[in-house]
Amino acid sequence: MNAPSRQATHQKLTYKLRRMRREDIAQVFSLEQRIFPTPWTQKSYEFELERNPASEQWVIEAVSAAEPQVVAYCVCWLLGEELHIANIAVAPRFRRRKLAKRLLCFVLNRAAEKGLRSATLEVRAGNHAAQALYAAFGFVEVARRPRYYSDNHEDALLMQLPQLKAADLASQPETGREGA
């Protein structure tokens, strides 16, 4: 039998950003378990979707000929004048395609339009990929929480974007190539 053609494995994908729905929780939780050493539980996602009035949740799904697949997600909390990025992740196979950048752009713009003034988040001191992403948006380290994470007692950096203003979404790509 012939090996699958290169064309078949490099199918064109479209990425769609939309609100997280209850039926996404299984996919989100499966990613969460693969990505984080101390994953959020399914119940915590149910709480965010159904009972936390301060919470907004977003996903990016990859749409192709096959079933749409959740490949990135973000949970944020609107706390008075502050936006807190509570969780953001991209499926390993879909990284470095600017999907996290697109999600962040979207939630920051949305918060700015709603009149929120600043944004914060916590990140592991050793998570240089995420820190580079946040720094590109203007987040700066404002505090360090020693031994914050329960699994390895790693420090957390508290990062803040002091002045929330509309970011430029025009440069964000709508499509990409699978397996690129």
To the nearest 10°, report the CA torsion of 78, 134, 109, 98: -120
* Cβ at position 99, least distance to ligand COA in Å: 4
Question: Binding mask 18-37 vs ligand COA (x if CB under 6 A, - otherwise)?
Answer: -----------------x--
CB neighbours of residue 86 within 10 Å = 20
Binding-residue pattern over the window 71 to 100 for ligand COA, x denoting contact by CB under 6 A: -----------------xxx----xxxxxx
Closest CA to 70 of 36, 103, 37, 39: 103
Euclidean distance between CA atoms 127 and 72, whole angstroms: 18
Using CB under 6 A, which residues numbered 107 to 146 contact ligand COA? 123, 127, 129-130, 132-133, 136
The upper half-sphere exposure of residue 66, i.e. CA atoms within 13 Å in the direction of its Cβ, equals: 10
Asked if 45 is an active-site residue, the reply is: no
* List of residues contacting ligand COA (CB under 6 A): 35, 88-90, 95-101, 123, 127, 129-130, 132-133, 136
Residue positions annotated with a catalytic role: 122, 134
